[in-house]
C-alpha cells in the first residue's frame, strides 16, 4: 500500500477523549457525508483510545467495549463503509495504551488480523508505556510487518510523537504518516510550537510517509478533551493553512455535528486543500527565515509555486519576498502571476517580488504563483 497524498478525515480524541460510543460514530459518519466533508476529501473516520474492554478474550484478541459498542466493531465498520467512508481505529506499541487499555505489544500479528477481520482501513499506533529495553523502531517495524501481512490494506499511522529520533527510522517501518510532534491542544501557543518544530523536520517529509502535526483543532473553541483556551477564527484559519501547506494529514478534531459556517468554510476550502493534496507532495522550504515572520515556498506538480507567509508574532508586519528568494532571477525573464487563495483575488503579474502587506498577528497569507514567460 502506497499513500500518495496526506490522509484526510476525522478523529474522536480532541473533542471526545474517552467519551465515545457507537451512536456518536454513526452520527459523525452521517454528518461527514451530509455536510460535504466527505466530498471535500475527508474520508477516514477514526476512533481513538478507550474503545475496548480492559481485558482480551480467551483467544488473546481485543474486544470492543460492550457498553460503548454493543454491536461490536465489525458492525460499526460496516456502517461507516456503507456511507462511502473508511474506518480507522487505535492501538499502541506499549504494554498498555495511553489510557491504560490493552495494547498491541506482543500481540501485533493477532491484532492486525483482528483489525482486518473487522474491516479497519486505518490504524493510529501510539507510543505510551513502551518497555524501556526495546528500541521503538523495532516495535513499529513489527506492527508494520503485521499490517502488511494481514490481508487488508490498512493505513499505518505511527504516533511516536517524534520521540527517539523517529525521523531517522520511521520510513523503514512501513508507516504512511508519522507524528512529528507532541500532542496539540486548542490554543495559539500550541499551534505555534508545533509549527516551529517542523522547520528541522521538512527534509523527512513527503510522498509516501507524511509528517503528521497532530489532529486539527479548527472549530473547537475551547470545548472538549483538548479544549484549552480556544482560538480566534483568524488563528484557526492560519492553523489550517500551516497544516495544509506542510503536507500534514488533515484530521478534523472538532464535533462536526455542530460546526459553525466559519468552521465549515475553513475546513472545506478547496484551494487550500488542493495545496495539501498536490500529487507531487514536495517538501516546503523557507524563503525568508524569521522566528516570527517566516515566508515559506512549495513547488507544485503543475509548475506553480505556493508562497505562504505566517505571522507568528504579536504585531502587524509587512513581509517582503523577492523571486530570487525562491530561485528565480530577473535575468530569466520569468514573472509570476499571483492569486490569493483565501480571498480568491487575482493580484496580477509581478516581475521581481511582492510585499504581503500588514498581516495581523497570528494571521497569514497564502499565494499561488503561476509562471509567466516574457
Of 183, 271, 292, 340, catalytic: 183
C-alpha cell at 74: 465489525
Distances (CA, A) of 88 to 77, 140, 327, 343: 8, 18, 41, 34
Q: Give me the helices (H) in 56-187, please.
A: 72-82, 108-118, 136-148, 166-169
Contacts of 166-171 with C-beta under 8 Å, sequence gap 24+, read 166/136, 167/201, 167/204, 169/137, 169/140, 170/137, 170/140, 170/204, 170/209, 171/204, 171/208, 171/209
| CB contact at 8 A, 56 and 102 | yes
In sign, the C-alpha dihedral spanning 61, 67, 72, 78 is negative
Instruction: Name 69's Cβ contacts closer than 8 Å, sequence gap at least 6.
Output: 21, 22, 51, 76
314 φ, ψ (degrees, to nearest 5) = -115, 15
**Edge to edge, what strands does the sheet with 346-350 contain?**
285-288, 295-299, 305-310, 364-373, 334-340, 346-350
Choice among 113, 126, 269, 278 that is catalytic: 126
Clarify whether 57 is annotated catalytic: no
Give the integer Cα–Cα distance in Å for 86 and 78: 10
- Tell me the C-alpha distance between 19 and 125, whole Å: 19
Tell which residue, 212, 193, 218, has the closest CA to residue 269: 218
Whether 30 is catalytic: no
Q: Which residues carry out catalysis? A: 126, 183
Amino acid at each position: 500500500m502506497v499513500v500518495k497524498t496526506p490522509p484526510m478525515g476525522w478523529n474522536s480524541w480532541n473533542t471526545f477523549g474517552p467519551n465515545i460510543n457507537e451512536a456518536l460514530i454513526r452520527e459523525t459518519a452521517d454528518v461527514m457525508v451530509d455536510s460535504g466533508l466527505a466530498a471535500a476529501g475527508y474520508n477516514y473516520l477514526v476512533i481513538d483510545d478507550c474503545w475496548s474492554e480492559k481485558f482480551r478474550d480467551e483467544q488473546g484478541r481485543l474486544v470492543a467495549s460492550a457498553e460503548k459498542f454493543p454491536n461490536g466493531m465489525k458492525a460499526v465498520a460496516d456502517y461507516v463503509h456503507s456511507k462511502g467512508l473508511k474506518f480507522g481505529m487505535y492501538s499502541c506499541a506499549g504494554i498498555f495504551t495511553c489510557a491504560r487499555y490493552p495494547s498491541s505489544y506482543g500481540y501485533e500479528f493477532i491484532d492486525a488480523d483482528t483489525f482486518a477481520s473487522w474491516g479497519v482501513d486505518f490504524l493510529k499506533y501510539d507510543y505510551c508505556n513502551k518497555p524501556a529495553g526495546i528500541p521503538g523502531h523495532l516495535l513499529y517495524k513489527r506492527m508494520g510487518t503485521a499490517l502488511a501481512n494481514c490481508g487488508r490494506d490498512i493505513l499505518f499511522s505511527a504516533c511516536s510523537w517524534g520521540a527517539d529520533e523517529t525521523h531517522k527510522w520511521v520510513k523503514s517501518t512501513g508507516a504512511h504518516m508519522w507524528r512529528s510532534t507532541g500532542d496539540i491542544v486548542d490554543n495559539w501557543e500550541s499551534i505555534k510550537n508545533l509549527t516551529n518544530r517542523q522547520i528541522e523536520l521538512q527534509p523527512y517529509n513527503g510522498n509516501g510517509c507524511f509528517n503528521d502535526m497532530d489532529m486539527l483543532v479548527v472549530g473547537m473553541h475551547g470545548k472538549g478533551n483538548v479544549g484549552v483556551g480556544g482560538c480566534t477564527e483568524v488563528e484557526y484559519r492560519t492553523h489550517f493553512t500551516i497544516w495544509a501547506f506542510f503536507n500534514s494529514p488533515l484530521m478534523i478534531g472538532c464535533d462536526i455535528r455542530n460546526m459553525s459556517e466559519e468552521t465549515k468554510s475553513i475546513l472545506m476550502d478547496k484551494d487550500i486543500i488542493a495545496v495539501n493534496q498536490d500529487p507531487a507532495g514536495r517538501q516546503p522550504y523557507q524563503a525568508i527565515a524569521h522566528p516570527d515572520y517566516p515566508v515559506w515556498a512549495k513547488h507544485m506538480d503543475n509548475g506553480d509555486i505556493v508562497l505562504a507567509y505566517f505571522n507568528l508574532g504579536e504585531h502587524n508586519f509587512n513581509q517582503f519576498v523577492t523571486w530570487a528568494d525562491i530561485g528565480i532571477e530577473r535575468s530569466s525573464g520569468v514573472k509570476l502571476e499571483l492569486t490569493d487563495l483565501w480571498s480568491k483575488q487575482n493580484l496580477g503579474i509581478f516581475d521581481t517580488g511582492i510585499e504581503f502587506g500588514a498581516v495581523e498577528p497570528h494571521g497569514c497569507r497564502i499565494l499561488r504563483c503561476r509562471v509567466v514567460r516574457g
